[in-house]
Chains A and B, each alone.
Chain A
Amino acid sequence: MNNIISDEIVVQVTDMKVYFDIDKRKFARTGRKVVRAVDGVSFDLRKGEILSLVGESGSGKTTTGKAILQLVPVTSGEVKFNGAPVSKEKAMLKAFRQKAQMIYQDPYQSLNPRLNILDIIAEPLDVNHLAGTEKERMGKVCSALETAGLTPPEDFLYRYPYELSGGQRQRVVVAGAMIMDPDFIVADEPVSMLDASIRTSILRLMLEMRDKTGVSYLFITHDLSLAWLISDRIAIMYLGKIMEIGPAEEIIKNGIHPYTRALTKIMPVPGVNKDKERIVLEGETPDASIEMTGCRFCGRCPVAMAECSEKEPEFKMAGPEHLVACHRFSEA
C-alpha cells in the first residue's frame, strides 16, 4: 500500500441512489418508468487515494461521479465531504465546489471554444472571486500551466482550444481542475479519447498531482487494465450496484464475483494469444428501468442459483479491504 494515502476520509458515500423519472405523463395508468441509474452505492475514499469505478455502459459509474458532485440530483442516500454532509444550500455548495472538481472525457468538448486558455483556466478563480489583480490572476494561471506540463506557459495563455492538440487540451483541463487546489477530483474517462502514446503522460500528470498535493481521485473507466494501472482500489459496478470492491491487485488477480472474473478473463494482454480461450458472457447489460429483485447480475451469471433471483446478496469480507456481494461466496 502506498504511504501517500492517509487514514483521513475525504469522501464518504452511503447508500446513494439516483433515479431518473423518464415517463413524465402525469395521467399514465401504468406505473411510471424509472431508470435506476445508481441503486444503493456505498464506499469511502481516503485522502491521497485513487479509487476506480469500473463498469460497462449502464453500470451507473458516471452518474455516481456526477451525483457526488451534485451535478445530477441525488434521490436518496448521503454524501459526506471531509466529514460534513454535502448540502444543497447555496453558500455551502459553493464552498464544496471549490474543493471538489471534475475532469471530463472529451478534450474537444470540455473547453469553451470561444474563450482563450487564460480565461478557461482562470474561470474557477473568477467565479469564486479569488482572482486578485490582473497580474496575480495571470501568475496563478501560469503556475497551473507549468504544473500541468505546458511550458513555457506564456505561449499558451492567449491561444484558443482549437489550436491545441488533444493531449494539450486535456492538460489544460487538468490545470483548470487543479488551480483551486482541490481535495477531490472525479475523473470521467479522462484518457479514453486520447491516443495511446499520449495517455500515459496524462496519467503520470495525474499521479504527480496526487503525490504533490494529496488530492484523491475517483477514476471512472470501462477499461479494467487502465484501472489496474492507476488505482489503489477498484470497485466493479453493474446496473447501478457495486458487485465487488477491493485493492486493485486483488481484484485483478483474485477476483471472486462472476462478473469480475468475466471482465478479467477478456482483458486483452498485449502479446500473442491466438489460442486463448475467450470465455465471453452472453447478451448485454439489460435496461436499467426494468424492476429487479435479487442480484442484478443473475440474468447473465453463468453460475446463478435459485437464491440469486430472489434475494439481493450482501457484502461479505473476502480479504483486507476486499468486499464482494455474491451468494456463491461464503466467508472462510
Chain B
Amino acid sequence: MKLLEVNHLQTYFDTSHGVLKAVDDVSFDLEYGESLGLVGESGCGKSTTALSICKLLPKEGRINGGEILIEGQDMASLSDDEIRKHRWADVSIIFQGAMNALNPVMNVGDQIGEAMILHEGITKDEADKRAADLLELVEIPRERIANYPHEFSGGMKQRVMIAMALACNPKIVIGDEPTTALDVMVQAQILNLLEKLRRELNMGLILITHDLSILGETCDKIAVMYAGRIMEMGTADDIFNHAMHPYTQKLIECFPNIEKAKIIPEGIKGAPPNMLEVPEGCAFHPRCDKACDVCMHSRPEPREISAAHVVACHLADAEVDHE
C-alpha cells in the first residue's frame, strides 16, 4: 500500500468570473520515506494541490473530483469534522514565509505544544518535553522553548515551523516553498535539515517550489506542473537527463548552469496562461515551438515511458510509438 495516492484530482474555484480549474486531473503517488518535488511557475496549481491534500482550501475552493488516498483511506470524500482529526496527524504543511505565521505573544514551546494537546490530549508538561525534543530535532537548543518568536532569526523561525509540522508525527510533510523567503545559505541549511528528518523519521516529503535547480539534490521524484496539469513526471534522472516534454526541456534551460556555457537561454515566449482561460487542447501549445495541429485540439493523456517516467505530450507519444 502506498503512503499517498492522488488519482485524477480536480480542484476548482468558484469566482465571479467563472470556474477556475486550478488543478485539472492530477495524479501521482508517494511511498514511505520518498521525496517528491512539485515544480512549476505561478498559477500552475502546485500550491492548490498541497492545500487540497490537507483540505485547507479557501471557501471558494472545492474538490470537484478524484481521490486522495492516505494509506488507502480517501480524504477527499471526508467531511470537515472528520478531516480535523486527520489534519496535522497524517499530513502537515509548512508554508512559505511561515516565519510570519508565528503568534508573537506566545512562546515557541506553547505554540508547538498546541497541536499536540489538541490532537492527543496530553498534559502541558508532557507537551513541553516533547516540544523541547522537537527543537532538538531541528537543531535548536532545547532551552529555547521559553523564547518568543521575535527572539529568533528568520532561518530559526522556519526551523520552529518545521518542528511544529512534526509535532504530531505526521506521515507526510508538505513544504510549500519553505525556503523561498530565506537567504541562500539558510536555504541550504533548511534543505539539509528536511533531508535528514525525512531519512530519520521515514516520512513522505513533498517539496513545492518554482526553483527546479534545487530539486535535483533533494528529490527522488519530480513532477512538472503547468496550468493545473502534470506535464511530465519521473525520477530526478528522468527529468534532468531524459526530459521528453518541450516545457520541461525549456524550463531546465532557464536555470543558470555553471557547468555549461555562459549563454543566456532563449526562455519560453509568452506567459503562463490566465487560469480562467486555459488554452484548448494541450495547455502549453501557444508557447510551444514544436506544437502541431493535434496539440491545439486534443489534450494529451499522461503516458508511461518507463517505470516512473510519465509524459503528457502528443509529440512524446509519437516518438514512443515510432520506436
A residues apposed to B, CB below 8 Å: 56-57, 165-168, 195-201, 203-204, 207, 222-226, 228-230, 248-249, 252-253, 262-263, 266-274, 276, 278, 280-282, 284-285
A197 lies within 8 A of B267 (CB): yes
A196 to B210, CA, bound (A): 8
The count of residues in chain B whose C-beta lies closer than 8 Å to any C-beta of chain A is: 44
Min C-beta distance of A229 to chain B, whole Å: 4
B212 lies within 8 A of A270 (CB): yes
A-B contact count (CB 8 A): 127
Interface segment, one of B48-56, B105-113, B249-257: B249-257
Listed residue (B191, B258, B266) with the most chain A CB atoms within 10 angstroms of its CB = B258
B189 lies within 8 A of A280 (CB): yes
Min C-beta distance of A232 to chain B, whole Å: 11
Which residues of A are found within 8 Å of B191, using beta-carbon distances? 278
A270 lies within 8 A of B213 (CB): yes
In chain B, what residue has the closest Cβ to A206?
B264
Contact of A252 among B154, B192, B258 (CB under 8 A): B258
In chain B between 247 and 293, which residues have their CB closer than 8 angstroms to a CB of chain A?
A: 250-252, 254-259, 262, 264-269, 271-272
A284 to B262, CA, bound (A): 31
B264 lies within 8 A of A200 (CB): yes
CB-defined A-B contacts under 8 Å, sample of 9:
A195-B272, A197-B267, A198-B268, A224-B184, A225-B213, A228-B262, A230-B264, A269-B258, A272-B236
Min C-beta distance of B243 to chain A, whole Å: 11
In chain B between 159 and 192, which residues have their CB closer than 8 angstroms to a CB of chain A?
A: 183-186, 188-189, 191-192
Which residues of B are found within 8 Å of A168, using beta-carbon distances? 271
Min C-beta distance of B250 to chain A, whole Å: 7
Which residues of B are found within 8 Å of A280, using beta-carbon distances? 185, 188-189, 192
A271 to B155, CA, bound (A): 26
In chain A, what residue has the closest Cβ to B218?
A274
Contact of A284 among B153, B217, B268 (CB under 8 A): B153
Min C-beta distance of A280 to chain B, whole Å: 5
A274 to B183, CA, bound (A): 22
B214 within 8 A of A: yes
Which residues of B are found within 8 Å of A276, using beta-carbon distances? 217
A270 lies within 8 A of B271 (CB): no
Listed residue (A263, A266, A271) with the most chain B CB atoms within 10 angstroms of its CB = A271
A284 lies within 8 A of B155 (CB): yes
A222 to B180, CA, bound (A): 12
Q: Apart from A228-B258, A270-B213, A273-B216, what 11 extra A-B contacts exist at CB < 8 Å?
A: A196-B210, A222-B184, A225-B256, A269-B213, A270-B240, A271-B259, A272-B237, A274-B218, A278-B192, A278-B217, A284-B183
A313 to B62, CA, bound (A): 60
A225 lies within 8 A of B185 (CB): no
A272 lies within 8 A of B154 (CB): no
A278 to B184, CA, bound (A): 12
A229 lies within 8 A of B264 (CB): yes
B41 within 8 A of A: yes
Which residues of B are found within 8 Å of A196, using beta-carbon distances? 41, 210-212, 251, 254-255
Which residues of A are found within 8 Å of B259, using beta-carbon distances? 269, 271
A interface majority secondary structure? helix
B147 within 8 A of A: no
B42 within 8 A of A: yes
A266 lies within 8 A of B184 (CB): yes
Which residues of A are found within 8 Å of B256, using beta-carbon distances? 225-226, 228-229
Which residues of B are found within 8 Å of A273, using beta-carbon distances? 216-217
Known: A197-B267, A268-B217. A281 touches B236 (CB 8 A): no
Contact of B186 among A268, A271, A272, A284 (CB under 8 A): A284
A222 to B187, CA, bound (A): 12
A249 lies within 8 A of B236 (CB): no
B240 lies within 8 A of A56 (CB): no
Which residues of A are found within 8 Å of B266, using beta-carbon distances? 200, 204
B16 within 8 A of A: no
Which residues of B are found within 8 Å of A285, using beta-carbon distances? 183
B264 lies within 8 A of A197 (CB): no
A271 to B214, CA, bound (A): 9
Known: A196-B41, A229-B256, A266-B188. A274 touches B251 (CB 8 A): no
B241 within 8 A of A: yes
Contact of B267 among A200, A207, A267 (CB under 8 A): A200
A269 lies within 8 A of B216 (CB): yes
In chain B, what residue has the closest Cβ to A59?
B183
Known: A57-B183, A230-B264, A284-B186. A268 touches B213 (CB 8 A): yes
Contact of B210 among A195, A228, A229, A278 (CB under 8 A): A195
A201 to B287, CA, bound (A): 14
